[in-house]
Structure 1
Amino acid sequence: MIEINLEDIPKSPGVYLFKNKRGEVLYVGKAKDLRNRLSYYTKSSFLSPKINHLLSLAEKVEYFLTKNEKEALLLEANLIKKFRPKYNVLLKDDKNYPLLRIPIKEKYPSLQIVRKRKKGDQALYFGPFTSAKGLREILKLLSKTFPLRKCSLAEMKRRKTPCIYYQIKKCLAPCVNPIPEEEYKKLVDGVIEFFQGKGKGLIEKLKEEMHRLSENLEFERAAFLRDRIEDLKNILEKQAVVLNTPIDLDLWEYKKENTYEFFIVLFVRYGYLYGFQTFQIKNPLGETPAIKDVILQFYLEGKIIPEKIFLPEEIEEKEELESILCEAAGKEIKILKSSEKEEIKILRELALKNLENFILSERRREKPWYAGLSEELVETLKLSQEPRWIEAIDLSQFYGTARVGAIVCFFEGEPEKSRYRHYHVKTEAKDDYAMLYEVIYRRLKRGLEENNLPDLILIDGGKGHLETALRAAEDLDIETVEFRAIAKNIKRQPEKLYIPGRKNPMFLPRYKEVYHFIGRVMSEAHRFAKTFAEKTKEKETIESILDKIKGIGPKRKEILLKNFRSLEEISQAPLENLANLPGFNLKVAKALKENLKEFLTS
């Protein structure tokens, strides 16, 4: 067990790290008085078995001094994010719910769905929304009333003719039409009013405008507004008003069961309930509730921080937490204990009801069979901890073309297809190692940004492939993800296992369940990579043929690829459909069909 020399440790605020003999960080903690806090770990007879187990693995303790407790709290959060220690509370929040971004500083702002708020961004944000599909539906309906631009700034600057959205009256085409900024701003303000909970007032304004148009005998425009008013009413009927005042707040509830804690947060914006988010975390030491760590990790990851955050009970370091969140949000933030006020009481009841449902669903999802497999994985693959989240990477290409990488994800033994990812390899080098480095680097970099790194990554290959993966992780300063390489035999069955730090490979035991599980994971990665490579090759072939057809430039080619999946589909499309595509006409459509007929019959 680690020996802590208290005489060397100052009575100052700071952060301490327990490390094992390999230098890996096991636990990060913070203290108002480092000597006093670390003295706690010297009284082994009073400590829980979990803490004694942590201390038995620790080889040394390091510490950093800070000016005050607030700095210690922030440094602790940053070090936990960096090292993701096994014995700390870790929030794996990969559900970055969609936000609506309106870049109000631009001349002609657009409505953008994003997943994170950019630091220092002067755009206006609304959300989070729990359903991207639901948000897209709302924007689709709003675009009839507020026809704002849909294209990017770069696309708008390049465009010479209006796009299809102009033709269906869902965009004013500021790219080519000189629209007065004040007129466009009124449309933007209308959208902002809607998302600020002022939908009823907005409807009244539109009604006044509709009556004015009727009086001026502009019946067609009045009828158009009438239909838009009905659309807005339909949207508003689906929104739940939960507060009498239009304020922003998040309300949290949580419950502990054994080493797990379950959380729910309700998002209230402008008095409307936007939705909620639930998650489960493991509290390895279980000494104190994890809410403080969860709050910091949740809000410091690019989330919108509301003016008020309600918790079910008072927490320590409330003032320090408020100060950190104020700096992150650039406004005053208050952390409050949920009151008995009727509105808050109703929200709490709603939160607790949904939290109970979440806990029940998690219990149903529990897989006793995976516990045994998880232990086998640790033993066979020589892992430091049981892997709940496993990913496998495979590469594929066709003689140097259609070079792709693919990642599949298994959570607690089952495929999580929503987390599957594929990559077009950009590196010029043709060898496997360069391709693998790029794919792993991009995956890990995104994982750092979105706080969704897996526990284990399996790679199809040998020692060189494993070293390449480790180099990518080292270049990003990632120590929390474990890597293993699996070499297959001529029958494409897993055979050899390569482990970091070991010179020679180990043979996988065929009689164990873990062998069949690894085979299943690697086969799925191979299938996913191969399928994507085939699609990529098919697309490259289509592009190559379209490039040879006179009159089909880059823009027309892009439009065809967006609307059709194959050359056969293009050739079989009615002439009028092709002629009506943006940038096309009857002459171009005829030439395209004639040329394609030659290519397909030759």
Structure 2
Amino acid sequence: MSDVHSEQLLAQVAALPQLPGVYRYFDAQGGVLYVGKARNLKKRVSSYFQKNHGGTRIGHMVGRIARLETTVVRSEAEALLLENNLIKALDPRFNILFRDDKSYPYLKITGAADKTGVEGQGAAVFPRVAYYRGAVDRKHRYFGPYPSAWAVKESIQLLQKVFRLRTCEDTVFANRTRPCLLYQIKRCSGPCVGLVAPEDYGRDVAHAEAFLRGETQQVLQQLESRMMTHAERLEFEQAAELRNQMSALSRVLHQQSVETASDKDVDILAVRVQGGKACVNLAMVRGGRHLGDRAYFPTHVEDAAAMQEAEQAEEGEGAGLLRPVEVQVLEAFIAQHYIGVPAPPALITSHAVDRALIAALGEQAGLRISAVHNPREQRRHWLEMAEKNAAIQLARLLAEEGSQQARTRALAEALDLAPDDLDALRIECFDISHTAGEATQASCVVYQQHRMQSGDYRRYNIEGITPGDDYAAMRQVLTRRYGRLAEVGRDPPDAAPPVEAAAEGEAPAAAPVARKRGGGGAKRLPDLVLVDGGKGQVSMAREVFAELGLDLGVIVGVKKGEGRKVGLEELVFADGRDTVALGKDSAALMLVAQIRDEAHRFAITGMRARRARVRVGGSALEEIPGVGAKKRARLLQRFGGIRGVAAAGVDDIATVEGISRELAEEIYRALH
């Protein structure tokens, strides 16, 4: 393989030190191919260039290496942590990668613990329990993370039933003159109107926190002790209240099947691999309660597995000692997942993982972490449930992917599309959304590689037209989207794929010039352009494409059927072909409807957000320097809208978190 690499690269490889470290391979375009770690950098990296790997996956990767970067570290543990940080940051082509879909939700109890139960009647004296997702603030107490929003909301309902904590916003709390419905149905103790003493409410908060930590027996003992004290004093009403609270807590504990006092915080990890795909199912136990699970699907499983097998073979390990793919996937998940999520003290895994990995994870988290792969009793039941869910989720993924590929193939055959590669078939769909002409927006969604490509979605603010003129809106969005192609024409079939955007509505990171939301044009003409509408919209699209000199054959309108019933849609062509009704059972029509519905969803959510900004007046705050999204949200929440902010004085505005006196004066001047 050395004859295909530059002398400079080979000299760099020869000069590597025999120390532990992390290495990165880059291709000629600067893309990251692979990130790896090694006990001996010189031995590991040299092995890639000292033999002919043929047409294998590793041979394909090695032939593309144009540049090398290395980082020397002090230990294998440091190399392990750095490797997975780089994998998450660089998204290499030949590494197993778990993508973060979103942050985990938490249950939040507002206010610092030492302020609970102080004298007064303000919202700060009576902490609120709430659902939360985002950065953790030390001013409040957080419990979790939870695997889903449903798990958090279920826990909040339990706290309402047992401890009757408030969930209302502080602004609502401050303006109540009589208790709300939650008080009437015994889900809140009514602190907003003084129906509970601060010290009693503070005890309920403390018991709720102990319950979330899994200290349920201590909570029951304290409640029982207080109940007996009230009974001895002949305070039977108070004793009855505590008795009811104990009964509610006992019912909750029975429903949650909390049978172990030792396992308070545990993560259960089960992996399943099939058909080149993998699923890791993560189940969470917090405070002794099983909170549910979440499935993760890594990418590049086959490529990464081939790479790691080759690495072990280069180091002289026998084929019988090669780690199973399941272990590789599980270790990759553990190393990447717990970079940004706090690790519990115990992990239960479906396969044995490297002890060095667990030790490095514990060193990073600052606590001792144990991992068990052959558990007993209750832990065994948890693991079996996680393994079953992993198998179910992976089977669902394989079925969905097979279905999507069949739909793509059916549409290509129905419309006589003949792409060189079915995976590269690109469809763009447009929709217009407004409310009586107000806040008109157009959406463009993209379908490629058998799935929706949300990173390529664009929204276009439509201006300068007669309100409600959908034809003019369609003309404008198509001109803006494909206008640049008029100069260069359609790219040849072997043209490079379009550069993907870094985020919704923003220019791609590699674009030479930044552009505003919705201002981006297409890099090439897609294989199919869908417009939501019948002959009128198709005629407008045909006019635009004729003016731009683009191929009319790619334009297809989706005309709603009789009674606007799903499955009766017809396809209208801009090049004069006869209208086609595919039939309600057609896989091709299912794909068209899927893409059309996604374009409609994307357009209407953008339109509603834009309309809300206009009506609420948040745009007035957006123009003030120093007022970002978080400060704007806090202002609107505190004062109930832009009118409330405008009516507030400088002193009142300065009380909002993050707003200084100088900024408060600037806001007041801007709104007056």
Q: What range is the shorter-chain TM-score in? A: 0.5 to 0.7
Residue equivalent to 1:402: 439
1:239 to 243, 256, 259: 256
Paired residues of 2:440 and 2:607 also in contact (CA < 8 A): no
Note closer, same or farther for the CA distance 1:505–1:197 as it changes in structure 2 (3 Å cut).
Answer: farther
Please state if 1:367 is matched with 2:384.
Answer: no
Q: CA deviation at 1:300?
A: 1.7
Change in Cα spacing, 1:136 to 1:320, as seen in structure 2 (3 Å) is closer
In 2, the alpha carbon distance for the partners of 1:497 and 1:315 equals 59
Which runs of structure 2 are paired with 1:267-346 in the superposition (5 Å)? 267-282=284-299, 283-285=301-303, 286-287=305-306, 288=308, 289-301=328-340, 303-316=341-354, 318-319=355-356, 322-327=359-364, 329=365, 331-339=366-374, 341-346=376-381
Corresponding position of 2:538: 491
Letter in 2 for 1:523: R
1:71 match: 78
Higher mean alpha-carbon deviation, 167-176 vs 105-114, is at 167-176
Mapped partners of 1:199, 1:142: distance in 2: 13
Match of 2:392 among 342, 357, 365: 357
**Corresponding residue to 1:164 among 152, 174, 180:** 180
Residue 197 (1) aligns with residue 235 (2): no
Match of 1:54 in 2: 61
Q: CA deviation at 1:21?
A: 2.3
Change (3 A) 1:399 1:368: closer
**Distance between the aligned counterparts of 1:515 and 1:9, measured in 2?**
55
- Pick closer, same or farther for the CA change 1:135–1:264 going to 2, 3 Å: same
Task: Provide the residue aligned with 2:108 in structure 1.
Answer: 101
Gaps of 5+ in 1: 433-457, 545-553, 560-602
Letter in 2 for 1:91: F
Q: Give the match's secondary structure for 1:358.
A: helix
Q: Distance in 2 between matches of 1:488 and 1:388?
A: 13
CA contact (8 A) 2:53 2:59 kept: no
Which one-letter code corresponds to 1:196 in the other structure? Answer: R
Q: Is the CA contact (8 Å cut-off) linking 2:223 and 2:246 kept in structure 1?
A: yes
- The amino acid across from 1:202 in the alignment is V
Aligned to 1:572: none
The Cα of 1:395 is off from its aligned counterpart by: 7.5
1:527 to 595, 600, 604: 600
Structure 2 letter corresponding to 1:292: E
2:159 to 119, 124, 142: 142
Write out per-residue CA displacement over residues 487-531 of structure 1, whole angstroms, 9 at most, x where no aligned residue.
Answer: 778518988999xxxx99887757999998996566335422554
> Quick one: distance in 1 between partners of 2:144 and 2:329?
25
d(CA) in 1 for partners of 2:371 and 2:442? 47
Q: Residues 183 and 82 of structure 1: is their aligned pair in 2 closer, same or farther, counting only changes over 3 Å?
A: same
Deviation track 1:507-566 (CA, whole Å, cap 9, x = no partner) reads 77579999989965663354225544675688789879xxxxxxxxx999969xxxxxxx
Q: Work out whether residues 430 and 530 of structure 2, in 8 Å CA contact, stay in contact via their aligned partners in 1.
A: no
CA positional deviation for 1:102: 3.1
- In the other structure, the counterpart of 1:80 is 87
State the shift of 1:293 in Å: 1.9
Structure 1 residues 535 and 380: alpha-carbon distance in aligned structure 2, compared to 1, 3 A threshold: same
CA distance 1:161–1:15, shift in 2 (3 Å) = farther
Instruction: Determine the structure 1 residue equivalent to 2:49.
Output: 42
2:482 corresponds to 1:462: yes
Query: What is the percent sequence identity of the aligned residues?
Result: 23
Q: Are the structure 2 counterparts of residues 170 and 326 from structure 1 closer, same or farther at C-alpha, using a change threshold of 3 Å?
A: farther
Q: Secondary structure at the match of 2:101?
A: coil
Q: TM-score, normalised by structure 2?
A: 0.59
Match of residue 268 from structure 2: 251
In the aligned structure 2, how far is the partner of 1:29 from the partner of 1:21?
A: 19
Query: Counterpart amino acid of 1:304?
Result: P
Partner residue of 2:24?
Answer: 17
Query: How do 1:511-522 residues align onto structure 2 when only pairs under 5 Å count?
Result: none
The one-letter code sitting in structure 1 at the alignment partner of 2:42 is R
**Contact 2:358–2:371 under 8 Å retained in 1:** no
SS of the residue corresponding to residue 268 of structure 1 reads strand
Flag structure 2 segments of 5+ consecutive residues without an equivalent. Answer: 116-125, 309-327, 466-477, 486-497, 513-520, 532-536, 557-572, 574-585, 618-635, 642-672
Is the CA contact 2:442–2:459 (under 8 Å) kept in the aligned structure 1?
A: yes
Cα distance between partner residues in 1 of 2:127 and 2:37:
44
Q: CA deviation at 1:94?
A: 1.9
Deviations 1:463-487 (A, max 9, x none): 679999576342999xxxx986767
* 1:407 Cα deviation after fit: 8.2
Q: Distance in 2 between matches of 1:300 and 1:523?
A: 38
* Mapped partners of 1:463, 1:381: distance in 2: 23
Question: Which structure has more RCO (C-alpha within 8 Å, separation ≥ 6)?
Answer: 1
Residues 345 and 8 of structure 1: CA distance in aligned 2, closer, same or farther (over 3 Å): same
The CA deviation at 1:307 is 0.8
Q: Which structure is larger by alpha-carbon Rg, 1 or 2?
A: 2
Which of 104, 110, 130 aligns to 1:112? It is 130
- Post-superposition shift, 1:306? 0.1
Distance of 1:101 and 1:156 partners within structure 2: 18
**Contact 2:434/2:440 (8 A) holds in 1:** yes
Please give the alpha-carbon distance, in whole angstroms, between the structure 1 residues aligned to 2:49 and 2:146. Answer: 47
Deviation at 1:247, TM superposition (A): 3.6
3-state DSSP class of the match of 1:274?
strand
- The one-letter code matched in structure 1 to 2:601 is F
Question: Cα gap change, 1:388/1:65 in structure 2, threshold over 3 Å: closer, same or farther?
Answer: farther
Alignment of 1:216-227 (within 5 A): 218=235, 220-227=237-244
Inter-CA distance 229–326: structure 2 relative to 1 (3 Å threshold): same
Q: Identify the range of structure 1 (68-77 vs 517-526) with the bigger mean alpha-carbon deviation.
A: 517-526
Equivalent residue letter for 2:132: V
Question: What amino acid is the match of 1:110?
Answer: R
Which digits, 9 at most, give the CA deviation of each residue in 1:72-130, with x for residues without a partner?
33332222222212222111342655332335626343323234563x85754433444
Q: Distance in 1 between matches of 2:426 and 2:252?
A: 38
Q: Do 1:253 and 1:263's aligned partners in 2 also have CA atoms closer than 8 Å?
A: yes
Q: Tell me how far 1:239 sits from its aligned partner.
A: 1.0
Equivalence for 1:570: none
Cα distance, 1:273–1:393 mapped onto 2, change above 3 Å: farther
> Alpha-carbon deviations, 1:369-406, whole Å to 9, x = none?
517848999x99999x9589999897856799536686
1: distance between equivalents of 2:350 and 2:424? 32
| Change over 3 Å in CA distance of 1:175–1:72 after alignment to 2 | farther
Residue of structure 2 equivalent to 1:444: none
Deviation at 1:298, TM superposition (A): 1.3
In 2, the alpha carbon distance for the partners of 1:58 and 1:484 equals 27
Give the counterpart letter for 1:16 in structure 2. Y
Indicate the larger mover: 2-11 or 207-216.
Answer: 207-216
- The one-letter code sitting in structure 1 at the alignment partner of 2:346 is K
Report the 3-state secondary structure (helix = DSSP H, G, I; strand = E; otherwise coil) of the residue aligned with 2:509. Answer: helix
Aligned to 1:273, the other structure's residue is in SS state strand
Give the whole-Å Cα distance in 2 for the aligned partners of 1:181 and 1:298: 41
Shift, 1:190, TM fit: 1.0
Q: CA deviation at 1:53?
A: 1.9
2:302 partner SS: coil
Q: 1:8 to 1:495 in 2, by over 3 A?
A: farther
Aligned partners of 2:455, 2:68: CA distance in 1, in Å?
39
Which amino acid is 1:277 matched to? R
- CA–CA distance in structure 2, aligned partners of residues 380 and 273 of structure 1: 51
Measured after TM superposition, the shift of residue 191 of structure 1 is 0.6
CA distance in 1, matches of 2:200, 2:282: 39
